Amino acid sequence: MILKGRVWKFGDNIDTDIIIPARYLAHTDPKVLGSHCMEPIAPDFHEKVAKGDFIVGGSNFGCGSSREHAPIAILALGIPLVIARSFARIFYRNSFNKGLALLEADIVDRVKDGDQLEIDLLAGGIAGPGIDVVAKPIPPFMIELINEGGLMNYLKRRLEARA
């Protein structure tokens, strides 16, 4: 699975309250959540980002509370993938459960906003201006979760197949 898109760069310790501020957690509509994604540090992010773009972050991306709203907000903007040096454990799990792909790679200091990247999601390959690295590949069963749009869709399909 090859993905191509632009980079939106963020730093270390991007917590879930930055990804989607707590005042919007009463909303369940992904479009509403997406319209407030990264609002505290990039108020117009939702207007600039395009479907297929990527977020690149530093260490501990997604730290903070265990809200599932954070990956939903990112996905609502059409962002299929976040690349970061490291992820908070609960954000990592919530992201795959919601269908958002994550790659661990230390490229944040080697990219700038607007750089074009090409990602081989199965192999973990990341290529772009001055970058040719291999991230830790995503295990095949987790690729299935992404392809199905998250854990609930995956389970629903499996249960329907048994019926």
* Sequence ranges of the domains in the chain: 2-162
The total number of residues written for the chain in this structure: 163
Q: Tell me, what's the pLDDT at 10?
A: 97
Is the pLDDT at 73 greater than 90, yes or no? yes
- Retrieve residue 18's tokens: 């930055």
Q: Tell me, what's the pLDDT at 100?
A: 97
Q: What average pLDDT does range 115-131 have in this prediction?
A: 95
Is the pLDDT at 80 greater than 90, yes or no? yes
- Burial (CB count <10 Å: 0-12, 13-18, 19+), residue 6: middle
Is the pLDDT at 79 greater than 80, yes or no? yes
Residue with tokens 């599932």: 68
Confidence category of residue 134, pLDDT binned at 50, 70, 90: very high
Domain 2-162 classification at class level: alpha beta
Confidence category of residue 145, pLDDT binned at 50, 70, 90: very high
C-alpha distances in angstroms, 135 versus 69, 94, 102, 125, 138? 26, 20, 10, 6, 9
pTM: 0.94
Is the pLDDT at 1 greater than 90, yes or no? no
What is the residue-averaged pLDDT of the chain? 95
